[in-house]
Amino acid sequence: MATRKKKQTKAELPRKTAKARQAKPRTGAGGQKRGTNPARVRAILEKLDEAYPAAACALKHQNAFQLLISTILSAQCTDERVNQVTPALFAKYPKPADFAYANPAEMEREIRSTGFFRNKTKSIMGASKKLVDEFHGEVPKTMEQLLTLPGVARKTANVVLGTAFGIALGVVVDTHVQRVAGRLDLTKNTDPKKIEQDLIQVIPRDKWILFAHQLIWHGRRVCQARKPRCLECNLERICYSKDKTV
């Protein structure tokens, strides 16, 4: 004869592990994720506007082509270092054709201090030659065309489109944007492409360009990698990062 299964009491039910509890999304009213709740996002944008109303690209340039070259050089290098190298570089090579047909060994020496100078030389010369051969020496204004240039990925393309042309087709994601956006719980991803997609879902399009500059400035000045200066941060009250120093 079949026996009836004893009903477990609440005390006997298995408890969720700490990992399972942490995996549950934090939500607010209506099931909205807490980090990207529209009201919270608006508050973040307001605080960033208060702190950095005039945030702009730190790479010194006079035109879209110079910005393109500077951005390629900035990979794994500080903007400050790039700005030390580019004045002499642009004086010697003022046009794409000058870069395209330069002596590679000379250029490697001239940009050596930016790191990865061999790969950067190939990218700069390759991109310049393509501009001359296919775009009449002009920097294109579309994401699709920019991505065909050697050494250009979405970050570089977004920098050029946003800063040089005022075209918002995405959000620049560098190491500062990645770190600060994660700490502010605007994204759970670590891959730059996925982070960009997360940000364009919650940040108004008319803010994409300025927002990236603001996060970069905030990451450099306050929300630093090793020891964020939370006591100086006007976002501290709406930030619940585990990295907080207060």
CA atoms of 113 and 151, how far apart (whole Å): 18
Count of residues making up the chain = 246
Residue 215: CB atoms within 10 A of its CB come to 28
Distance CA 74, CA 160 (A): 13
CA nearest neighbour of 169 among 146, 139, 137: 146
List residues with catalytic annotation: 155, 174
Distance between alpha carbon 225 and the CA centroid of its chain, in Å?
14
Q: Which residues contact 87 (CB under 8 A, 6 or more apart)?
A: 60
Ordered DSSP codes for 165-181: H---SS----HHHHHHH
